[in-house]
Amino acid sequence: MGKTIAEKIFDSHYVDNPSGDIHVIRLDAVFCHEITTPAAINDLVSRGKDRVFDPSKIKAVIDHVTPAKDSKTAIQGKILRDWAGRHQIRDFFDIGRNGVCHAIFPEKGFVRPGYTIIMGDSHTCTHGAFGAFAAGVGTTDLEVGILKGVCAFHYPKSMKIEVNGALPKGVYAKDVILSIIGKISVNGATNKVIEFSGSTVDAMSMEARMTICNMAVEAGATSGICRPDQTTVDYLWEFIKDEFQSRASALEAFSAFAPDPDAKYDSMITLQAETIEPLVTYGYKPDQVKTVREMEGERVDQVYIGSCTNGRIEDLRAAARELEGKKIKDSVRGIVSPATPLIYHQALEEGIIKIFMDAGFCVTNPTCGACLGMSNGILAPGEVCASTTNRNFNGRMGKGGMVHLMNPATAAASAVKGCITNSEQYMHGR
């Protein structure tokens, strides 16, 4: 019988089947950040098990609050830093070299097709864009991952979501995933892996694929996953060129993790790209989605462009196209956080940072910051933020604040107008 991508990965990483459909699998990488890892480290130390299974397979970053904003966040950073030092974890990224985890780890080439990855962060599903099984876990799973290099999961059921056709101008990967979540709801994919496919996904860049996989968890999915293809190989080539003779041979090797034509899916959904238009969330759940048209004119106090969902170079370019030669409304606070130092550099070189600054945006260092309401742009009660992030939960960006999720071009256009509005790219097909 044919297999899905997730089944192929599970079968090639099998360690044990302790009971029922629980599979313990071997991990290729364990990612760590300073918010959820210190508790795992402290617990390992207190149990007398302060060890790591393989320092070369552990990658760590301080990204959520950086620079530290108070003593507590400084201590969290220190615990991670000291631990990385004493276990010779060489891929550790501290301030000046750090960026949002789900942007910087792929950028460094740490994700490969067929990999199994866990991290104490729900948006770990982002890395499925490379044809990897990547899942967010809690502190205890992370702890065991660090100690033993294994993790237990239910054997994966997959939901196939096929998107076909060409996206209209001004419609982005963010709109694709928002429309999917709006359709299947916040628990539409619980305990399942979403396998994204179809000509629209095949035509997407790695950045766009990361955006759709990033938000798979907002529909409850364990992971999002895309078939590895030429785009994957080209993105990874500089990191894998010593391992393969040619791009073609890399593609052939990665094809081992393509789904079989007769693979069995738990459910299937098909979407037509032409019918998707720019979307925005309106409530406290990511499945509360309306078209930008329906939300037109809704006041915004802050516009935030960044995060592991939409803080990559393509996202900054899309926003800059909208902002070029314009000023944002006086009543709006615009904040942009390039997700990594490399993205920041690229944006500088391409003149994008200047466009943002001329428009009146504040450019922050790479960090999660306002996305989770810990620093760099917390809302006051009653304030509204147009945001390119992935979560609109009550209080997410500050108690009493409201977050509307949208694509970067819509966010930029809304900054200019001071209210939710469609981008010119969409309206005039620029």
Partner 1 sequence: MKNFNGKVLFLDRSDINTDEIIPAKYLTEISKEALKPNLLEDLKLEGFSPSADIPGKSIVITRANFGCGSSREHAPWAFEVNGINLIIAESYARIFRQNMFNCGMMAIELPKETIDHLFKVYQRKEVTIETDLDRNWFTIRSGSRIEEIPFFISDYDRSLVLAGGWVEFADRHY
Hey, what are 290's tokens? Answer: 């309306």
Q: Does 306 bind partner 1 (CB under 8 A)?
A: no
For 198, phi and psi rounded to 5 degrees? 105, 165
Residue 340 one-letter amino acid: T
Which helix (H) or strand (E) covers residue 223, if one does? strand 223-226
Report in angstroms how near the CB of residue 281 gets to partner 1 at its nearest: 14
Long-range contacts of 9-14 (CB under 8 A, 24+ apart): 9/114, 9/115, 9/116, 9/132, 9/133, 9/257, 10/133, 10/153, 10/155, 10/156, 12/114, 13/116
Contacts of ligand SF4 in 297-326 (CB under 6 A) = 307-308
Three-state SS at 199: helix
Which helix (H) or strand (E) covers residue 71, if one does? helix 71-86
Q: What is the DSSP string of 98-167?
A: ---HHHHHHHTT---TT-EEEESSGGGGGGGGGT-EEEE--HHHHHHHHHHSEEEEEPPEEEEEEEESPP
Query: Taking a C-beta distance cutoff of 8 angstroms, is the pair 169, 426 a contact?
Result: yes
Q: Which is nearer to partner 1, 194 or 332 (CB)?
A: 194
Q: From partner 1, ligand SF4, none, which one binds at residue 15 (CB under 5 to 8 Å depending on kind)?
A: partner 1
Report in angstroms how near the CB of residue 383 gets to partner 1 at its nearest: 16
Using alpha carbons, select from 349, 327, 328 the residue that is nearest to residue 338. Answer: 349
Q: Which is nearer to partner 1, 39 or 357 (CB)?
A: 39
Q: From partner 1, ligand SF4, none, which one binds at residue 310 (CB under 5 to 8 Å depending on kind)?
A: none
Report in angstroms how near the CB of residue 175 gets to partner 1 at its nearest: 22
Stretch that binds ligand SF4, among 274-282, 341-349, 365-373, 406-414 (CB under 6 A): 365-373
**Strands 133-136, 14-19: pairing kind:** unpaired
Q: Which is nearer to partner 1, 120 or 259 (CB)?
A: 120
Q: Residue from 67, 94, 97, 122 that binds partner 1 (CB under 8 A)?
A: 122
Report in angstroms how near the CB of residue 68 gets to partner 1 at its nearest: 10
Q: Does 264 bind partner 1 (CB under 8 A)?
A: no
Q: Residue from 222, 310, 390, 425 that binds ligand SF4 (CB under 6 A)?
A: 390
Binding site for ligand SF4 (CB under 6 A): 64, 100-102, 121, 123, 307-308, 368, 371-372, 389-390
Binding site for partner 1 (CB under 8 A): 15-16, 18-20, 22, 24, 35-36, 38-39, 42-43, 47, 49, 65, 70, 72-73, 75-76, 79, 120-122, 124, 136-141, 143-144, 147-148, 150, 152, 186-187, 190-191, 220, 222, 284-285, 372-374, 391, 393-396, 399
